[in-house]
Chains A and B, each alone.
Chain A
Amino acid sequence: MVSIIVFALLSIAGFSVFFWNVSKIRSNIFLGRDLDRTDRKAERWKTMTLVALGQKKMFTRPIPALLHLCIYAAFVITQIELIEIIVDGITHEHRIFREALGGFYTFMISFIEILSVLALVATVIFLIRRNVVKVKRLTMDEMKGWPKRDANLILIMEIILVSCIFTMNGADEVLYQKGMSHAAYLGDGSMSFSISSWLGPLLFGGMETDTLNFLERVGWWGHVIMVFSFLNYLPYSKHFHIILAFPNTYYSNLEAKGRMTNMESVTNEVKLMMDPNADPYAAAPEGAEPQRFGAKDVQDLTWKNLLDAYTCTECGRCTSSCPANQTGKLLSPRKIMMDTRDRLTEVGDGIRKNGKDFSDGKSLLGDYITEEEIWACTSCNACLQECPVNIDPLSIIIDLRRFLVMEESKVPTELAGMLTNIENNGAPWQFSQTDRLNWKDEA
């Protein structure tokens, strides 16, 4: 009875804190500017299915993709066992699906066990890649400190989780063989699960019934505690991608990658300039709030940019494919996303504490992302192409440039010259427009 109460309290607390943290992230994301991504629903479902569920873009790098798939598949399918564990927690009915599902249950748990072993192997290889082999994209500057600990912590949690499953199933198997399992009414012999049917006797064979019962409960509670820890760790971690990958790919930009957003505020101004009948002294329409050109801080970005930031799991495929980064420039598209998320968390907390007009004198541009970084971008779209969950660092970079150029008039000298030339003679170089056709008569 006590254990049921403890379990119930743990569940309520676990889910409540999780949803409270998720609601904070949600409100942070909605600090961003409006953007309509409600169109083309069929195409959006398709994108989400292929990219998030099917992990299509992961497979440009087959080895990490395969390892990741093992963990992903194990994680998804283990949720079935988790339902059973939760029922056990509430009702003390052990392995309730077994009687109902019969042979299929044995197959299902066996399958989960095999996937769990594969996931364990993948996790160990991932730890080795990060800490021993030190794969370059996983050990770059922006990955020092917390991001590195975050990644390792998740992998270690994964190992503990899988160990708990096998402790539980293994101890239960030995108990079962002794006819002492609390699921004993289901018959005796073996539970016939693919791994625990031999691993259990191997590890726990010959132990006392009390010890086995204790181990089974350690595995069970360990699993339950890890699940709730994991759930509540997610909102603080890059690992939140396991949830946000789905909405993020659903709300993907479906236009050609080369198309940069049109700034409507500018369109209105330009139309006024070009319309001879426009009244330059006309009052702004009622309720129109002047918007900053481009982005200086996270609130100037769209909600999709901010969703991107929380979805990023810092895999670094963008950075490793970035031509600027490969040639030693300061720019790293991954860092753009990490900076955006870190700043957003800071602004969100500040607003919740101090109200809507909160200001700490800091901004995304300047305090997190430097001008040198954004001026290194060639807008080649390699980062968007590579991202397995359709994150778009380029639109953030361009919005930061827009702020610098249009609000601050801070343009690299050569680009200022280029812009003046376009304005004066309709070409980025200083050639007269009247000479545009001279090539025709040149030998």
Chain B
Amino acid sequence: MSNLKVPTMAEMLAEGKVPDILFWVGCAGSFDDRAKKITKAIVKILNHCEVSFAVLGTEESCSGDPAKRAGNEFTFQMQAMMNIQVLDGYEVKRIVTGCPHCFNTLKNEYPELGGNYEVLHHTQLIQDLINTGKLALQNGETYKGKKITFHDPCYLGRANDIYEAPRSLIEKLDAELVEMKRCKTNGLCCGAGGAQMFKEAEKGNKEINVERTEDALESKADIIATGCPFCNTMMTDGIKSFEKEDYIKVIDVAELIANAIDIEG
């Protein structure tokens, strides 16, 4: 048993409470073993800062992103409309998510179907918590002397022009932020987007995540910071293919921050 406090919207409603923000966990964050750790790190931070939040729990469903990118607009819109009914049923106004794909879909593609919310990526919320003094990093020296590089998720970076929030968090740590040769607008995809995560790559001479891992290795970073569960998987696999897992770690920005505040749990 963990001592995380994870209220659901249903429980909150039963108690007559309305949380400030909904934490949209996403499918990877709910089911993928690696991504679940990122989910917990986000919850740790939310608990630590006493943010009033809730999750949908078993009422959450796929945002529809991979269906839309795979060309199945029917499946996407069915998912979107069902989700919008649930979200509007709870009168959700603000959403935070750890997945840039959910983030992009909820933020950009739900409004046309009637779902209007303020949607934040977890790095934006954490940045806000730090800026408003709600979160202080006591144990910033956890990463003292380490080099950290940030791999821009396409759906956070180019798709939504968010480059600074994750970097500003890394800069808060007592570590050195190093950039890969291709970064920000020029960043290279990990290979998972556009529903590629769920299929074998088409015929080629190299895997995209291997190409990207080479950039990361070249940067001489000790840690590849990610902001997307799919990038995390792809980069972790890439590092494994070079058998460098003892030298370079793939860690979500939320985990970096959670470790730096060293909260029990």
Interface, chain A (partner B; CB < 8 A): 60, 255-260, 262-263, 266-267, 269-271, 273-274, 293-294, 321, 323-324, 326-331, 372, 375-382, 384-385, 398, 401-406, 411-412, 414-415, 417-419, 422-423, 426-429, 431, 433-443
Contact among B39, B74, B202 for A330, CB-based, below 8 A: B202
Fill in one digit per residue for B117-159: 1 if any A CB lies within 8 Å of its CB, else 0: 0000000000000000000000000000000000000110011
Chain B residue nearest to A407 in the complex (CB)? B71
Contacts of B179 in A (CB 8 A): none
- Those of B24-81 within 8 Å (CB) of chain A: 25, 27, 29-31, 36, 39-40, 55, 57-58, 60-62, 64, 66-75, 77-79, 81
- Tell me the minimal C-beta distance from B242 to chain A in angstroms: 16
Contacts of A323 in B (CB 8 A): 188-189, 191, 208, 211-212
CA distance A168 to B198 in the complex (A): 65
21 sample A-B contacts, Cβ–Cβ < 8 Å, listed by A number: A266-B74, A323-B208, A323-B212, A327-B201, A330-B203, A375-B202, A378-B194, A380-B194, A382-B158, A401-B71, A403-B71, A406-B72, A411-B72, A418-B198, A419-B75, A426-B79, A427-B27, A433-B58, A437-B57, A438-B30, A443-B1
> A423, B71: Cβ atoms under 8 Å?
no
Contacts of B82 in A (CB 8 A): 274
- Tell me the minimal C-beta distance from B66 to chain A in angstroms: 5
Known interface pairs A256-B160, A436-B58; A329-B4 also in contact (CB < 8 Å) = no
CA distance A296 to B196 in the complex (A): 22
B195 at the interface (CB under 8 A from A): yes
> B198, A324: Cβ atoms under 8 Å?
no
Chain B residue nearest to A402 in the complex (CB)? B71
- Those of B92-133 within 8 Å (CB) of chain A: 104, 107-109, 112-113
Contact among A327, A330, A429, A434 for B58, CB-based, below 8 A: A434
CA distance A377 to B195 in the complex (A): 9
Contacts of B70 in A (CB 8 A): 401, 405, 411, 415, 418-419
Contacts of B196 in A (CB 8 A): 378
CA distance A412 to B72 in the complex (A): 12
Contacts of A437 in B (CB 8 A): 6, 8, 30, 55, 57-58
- Tell me the minimal C-beta distance from A288 to chain B in angstroms: 18
> A372, B186: Cβ atoms under 8 Å?
no
CA distance A418 to B194 in the complex (A): 13
CA distance A263 to B107 in the complex (A): 17
- Tell me the minimal C-beta distance from A69 to chain B in angstroms: 21
B204 at the interface (CB under 8 A from A): yes
- Tell me the minimal C-beta distance from A333 to chain B in angstroms: 13
Contacts of A382 in B (CB 8 A): 154, 158, 188-189
> A439, B36: Cβ atoms under 8 Å?
yes
Q: B31, B191, B197, B200: which has the most chain A beta carbons within 10 Å?
A: B31
